[in-house]
Amino acid sequence: MKPVITCVDDLRRLARRRVPGLFYDYVDSGSWTESTYRANSLDLARLHFRQQVGRNVADISTRATILGQPAALPLALAPAGLTGMIWPDGEILAARAAAAAGVPYTLSTVSICSIEDLAARLAQPFWLQLYMMKDRGFIADLIARARAASCSALVLTLDLPIQGQRHKDIRNGLSVPPALTASGILSMLSHPRWCAAMLRTPRRTFGNIVGHARGVTDTLGFAEWVSRQFDRTVTWDDIDWVKQRWGGRLIVKGIMDAGDARRAFGAGADAIVVSNHGGRQLDGAPSSISALRAIADSVGDAGEIIMDGGIRSGQDMLRALALGADSVMIGRAFLYGLGALGEQGVALCLDILRKELEATMALCGVTALGQLGPDAIVDYPWPAVASAPAPRTPALRSIAEAP
């Protein structure tokens, strides 16, 4: 019987059946006790909408601008490592679905598909996510490769000076290609559709790193290399180093503090991502949504604000937009779609979010994204900054409102 898909959670349940357990667990887990991972969704659900009636909502627009570019939704696909192990050629499939839906796609540094491979198979520009590793020569080369591929933005992730301990990945012995342990073999053999598709693709290693980083010629070499590459010396000065080599739009990801947000914009970021890495780094950190308003109030009009963490519905999108985000990123939501139905699943995920956002806007009496503000939320439970500047003018506006 064909599954009936009505929401992102339906895609999650289907993905759990179709993706080998070690890779599904990689997506659907956080670090340590996973308290921050859970809080991202739970705190979004705590926010109640202001229902307003008697308004003409016949003509609703979900269109937006993100870093000066038009988008069908105020949304981008977040960088996600190992996407090509959730489903073979996963980065290519997800990027195609994003392009068809009119939203940006972000390729991870630790993707299975390489920058060049994706650029050759995608007509539209995409974003590249960057970690600052100790091998600055490799990073400079990666930035040059992103320029050559006409990437339209660089997403610099700053919240990984050391990897948060993810218990499920350790227990599963997660590796790429999958380790040939008894449990790993059993997990893969119990998913013959995934195995058959994986056998048909040559993309089964880390395409951006293997063959590019010094001394990394295979996956074993990658594991040894990356274990030495987490850089605890990264500071705000490194943003200037990146900007000089990049020269394009720069997004700084991993911001959870108002002071850090101001520093990021002061260092030249065009946008920030309010993010706790999906609860995969500092367990016990607050949820992204609970940090958002204080950050938005603190930075004013300094640049665009993107939020990720816990977005599973169009309603979650509206909550984030109301409290100061100009757009959002989704990671797990599109990966559920990918694991469930491949490219079709990512497209379905994006269509579900669009319809949910439009319906929620209508029921809140809102017809354009630029109309959203904190008053769309009835009972905001977290304090804003003590001495905020004048109310922030959202950088994101309906295309219809743009001059």
DSSP 265-321: HHTT-SEEEE--GGGTSSTTPPPHHHHHHHHHHHHTTSSEEEEESS--SHHHHHHHH
Is 48 catalytic? The answer is: no
Q: Which of 101, 15, 81 is nearest to 340 (CA)?
A: 15
Q: Which of 318, 313, 317, 309 is nearest to 352 (CA)?
A: 313
Say which residues have a Cβ less than 8 Å from residue 357's Cβ, sequence separation at least 6: 62, 73, 314, 315, 317, 318
The single residue of 167, 191, 212, 277 carrying the catalytic annotation is: 277
Q: Give helix 136-148 / helix 237-246 axis angle, nearest 10°.
A: 40
Cα separations in angstroms, 397 against 72, 100, 169, 326, 400: 12, 21, 40, 8, 8
E strand segments, 184-281: 250-255, 271-274
**Could you give the angle at the alpha carbon of 49 between the alpha carbons of 43 and 55, nearest 5°?**
160
Q: Would you name the residues annotated as active-site residues?
A: 277
